[in-house]
Amino acid sequence: MLEASAFLRAEKKRLTPQRSLLLGIIRQHGHLDADEIYRLARRENPRLSLSTVYRTLNLLKELGLVEELHLGEEHHHYEAKAEEHHHLVCLSCGKVIECRLTEDLRELGRRHGFTMVSAQVELAGYCADCRKQGENDP
Protein backbone atom coordinates (compact mmCIF):
# COMPACT_ATOMS: atom_id res chain seq x y z
CA MET A 1 0.00 0.00 0.00
CA LEU A 2 2.97 2.29 0.47
CA GLU A 3 6.02 2.98 -1.58
CA ALA A 4 7.16 4.37 1.74
CA SER A 5 8.31 0.87 2.58
CA ALA A 6 11.25 1.41 0.25
CA PHE A 7 12.33 4.50 2.19
CA LEU A 8 11.96 2.65 5.43
CA ARG A 9 13.79 -0.52 4.51
CA ALA A 10 16.66 1.60 3.26
CA GLU A 11 17.27 2.68 6.85
CA LYS A 12 16.49 -0.43 8.87
CA LYS A 13 13.18 1.13 9.82
CA ARG A 14 10.06 -0.96 10.06
CA LEU A 15 6.74 -0.46 8.38
CA THR A 16 4.27 -0.61 11.23
CA PRO A 17 0.50 -0.28 10.98
CA GLN A 18 0.76 2.94 12.97
CA ARG A 19 3.10 4.41 10.41
CA SER A 20 1.00 3.59 7.39
CA LEU A 21 -2.13 4.79 9.11
CA LEU A 22 -0.54 8.13 9.94
CA LEU A 23 1.02 8.67 6.55
CA GLY A 24 -2.30 7.80 4.95
CA ILE A 25 -4.10 10.40 7.01
CA ILE A 26 -1.55 13.08 6.30
CA ARG A 27 -1.83 12.34 2.61
CA GLN A 28 -5.55 12.73 2.42
CA HIS A 29 -5.81 15.95 4.38
CA GLY A 30 -3.87 19.19 4.25
CA HIS A 31 -2.32 21.35 6.99
CA LEU A 32 -3.12 19.12 9.93
CA ASP A 33 -1.56 19.70 13.30
CA ALA A 34 -0.32 16.88 15.50
CA ASP A 35 -3.44 16.73 17.57
CA GLU A 36 -5.78 16.70 14.58
CA ILE A 37 -3.75 13.85 13.14
CA TYR A 38 -3.94 12.06 16.48
CA ARG A 39 -7.71 12.39 16.69
CA LEU A 40 -8.25 11.22 13.12
CA ALA A 41 -5.89 8.28 13.59
CA ARG A 42 -7.55 7.16 16.80
CA ARG A 43 -10.79 6.60 14.96
CA GLU A 44 -8.96 3.76 13.20
CA ASN A 45 -6.73 2.69 16.05
CA PRO A 46 -7.93 3.85 19.46
CA ARG A 47 -4.85 2.53 21.22
CA LEU A 48 -2.48 4.75 19.27
CA SER A 49 -0.45 7.06 21.47
CA LEU A 50 0.36 10.68 20.92
CA SER A 51 4.07 9.95 21.34
CA THR A 52 3.85 7.66 18.35
CA VAL A 53 2.28 10.45 16.35
CA TYR A 54 5.16 12.77 17.15
CA ARG A 55 7.81 10.10 16.62
CA THR A 56 6.27 9.20 13.28
CA LEU A 57 6.02 12.81 12.24
CA ASN A 58 9.72 13.23 12.92
CA LEU A 59 10.55 10.07 11.02
CA LEU A 60 8.48 11.09 8.02
CA LYS A 61 10.15 14.47 8.06
CA GLU A 62 13.59 12.83 8.00
CA LEU A 63 12.52 10.57 5.17
CA GLY A 64 11.33 13.62 3.29
CA LEU A 65 7.78 12.35 2.99
CA VAL A 66 6.18 14.99 5.16
CA GLU A 67 6.84 18.65 5.67
CA GLU A 68 6.47 20.65 8.84
CA LEU A 69 4.78 24.02 8.40
CA HIS A 70 5.39 26.92 10.72
CA LEU A 71 2.25 28.90 10.15
CA GLY A 72 1.72 31.78 12.53
CA GLU A 73 0.32 29.63 15.35
CA GLU A 74 2.13 28.26 18.38
CA HIS A 75 2.12 24.69 17.17
CA HIS A 76 3.21 23.05 13.93
CA HIS A 77 1.18 21.81 11.01
CA TYR A 78 2.10 19.00 8.67
CA GLU A 79 1.44 18.07 5.08
CA ALA A 80 2.57 15.37 2.68
CA LYS A 81 5.52 16.67 0.78
CA ALA A 82 4.71 17.35 -2.82
CA GLU A 83 6.00 20.11 -4.99
CA GLU A 84 7.37 23.02 -2.97
CA HIS A 85 4.67 25.63 -2.51
CA HIS A 86 3.68 28.49 -0.25
CA HIS A 87 0.69 29.66 1.72
CA LEU A 88 -1.61 32.65 1.55
CA VAL A 89 -3.76 32.70 4.67
CA CYS A 90 -7.05 34.61 4.67
CA LEU A 91 -7.48 36.69 7.82
CA SER A 92 -11.23 36.64 7.40
CA CYS A 93 -12.26 33.08 6.54
CA GLY A 94 -9.07 31.25 7.47
CA LYS A 95 -8.79 29.64 4.05
CA VAL A 96 -5.25 28.68 3.03
CA ILE A 97 -4.46 29.24 -0.63
CA GLU A 98 -1.52 27.21 -1.89
CA CYS A 99 0.63 28.50 -4.70
CA ARG A 100 4.09 28.02 -6.05
CA LEU A 101 6.22 31.13 -5.63
CA THR A 102 9.61 29.44 -5.68
CA GLU A 103 11.01 30.99 -8.81
CA ASP A 104 9.73 34.47 -8.01
CA LEU A 105 11.21 34.27 -4.54
CA ARG A 106 14.52 33.01 -5.86
CA GLU A 107 14.62 36.04 -8.11
CA LEU A 108 13.91 38.34 -5.16
CA GLY A 109 16.77 36.75 -3.25
CA ARG A 110 19.06 37.08 -6.24
CA ARG A 111 18.49 40.82 -6.28
CA HIS A 112 20.06 40.92 -2.83
CA GLY A 113 23.05 38.78 -3.74
CA PHE A 114 21.47 35.75 -2.08
CA THR A 115 21.26 32.22 -3.46
CA MET A 116 17.97 30.86 -2.20
CA VAL A 117 17.73 27.17 -1.42
CA SER A 118 14.34 27.06 0.20
CA ALA A 119 11.72 29.49 1.36
CA GLN A 120 9.28 29.64 4.17
CA VAL A 121 6.61 32.11 3.16
CA GLU A 122 3.25 32.96 4.58
CA LEU A 123 1.29 35.92 3.33
CA ALA A 124 -1.57 37.13 5.51
CA GLY A 125 -4.41 39.06 3.91
CA TYR A 126 -7.78 38.61 2.27
CA CYS A 127 -8.92 36.14 -0.34
CA ALA A 128 -10.97 37.21 -3.34
CA ASP A 129 -14.19 35.85 -1.84
CA CYS A 130 -13.85 37.71 1.42
CA ARG A 131 -12.75 40.89 -0.29
CA LYS A 132 -15.96 40.95 -2.33
CA GLN A 133 -18.23 40.13 0.60
CA GLY A 134 -18.06 43.58 2.17
CA GLU A 135 -15.75 45.58 4.37
CA ASN A 136 -13.76 43.37 6.68
CA ASP A 137 -10.93 44.64 8.84
CA PRO A 138 -8.77 46.77 6.54
Binding residues for Mn ion (CB under 5 A): 33
The answer to the question of residue 43 lying near DNA (CB under 7 A) is no
**Dihedral sign (CA 15, 16, 20, 23):** negative
The answer to the question of residue 36 lying near DNA (CB under 7 A) is no
Which entry of Zn ion, its own copies, Mn ion, none binds 95, CB below 5 to 8 A by partner kind? Answer: Zn ion
Among 1, 10, 47, 135, binds DNA (CB under 7 A): 47
The H or E element that residue 27 is part of is helix 17-28
The H or E element that residue 51 is part of is helix 50-62
Distance CA 12, CA 49 (A): 22
**What residues does 57 pair with on adjacent strands?**
none
Work out how close the CB of 2 gets to Mn ion at its nearest, in angstroms, rounded to a whole number: 26
Which residues contact DNA by CB under 7 A?
Answer: 5, 8-9, 12-19, 33-35, 45, 47-52, 54-58, 74-76
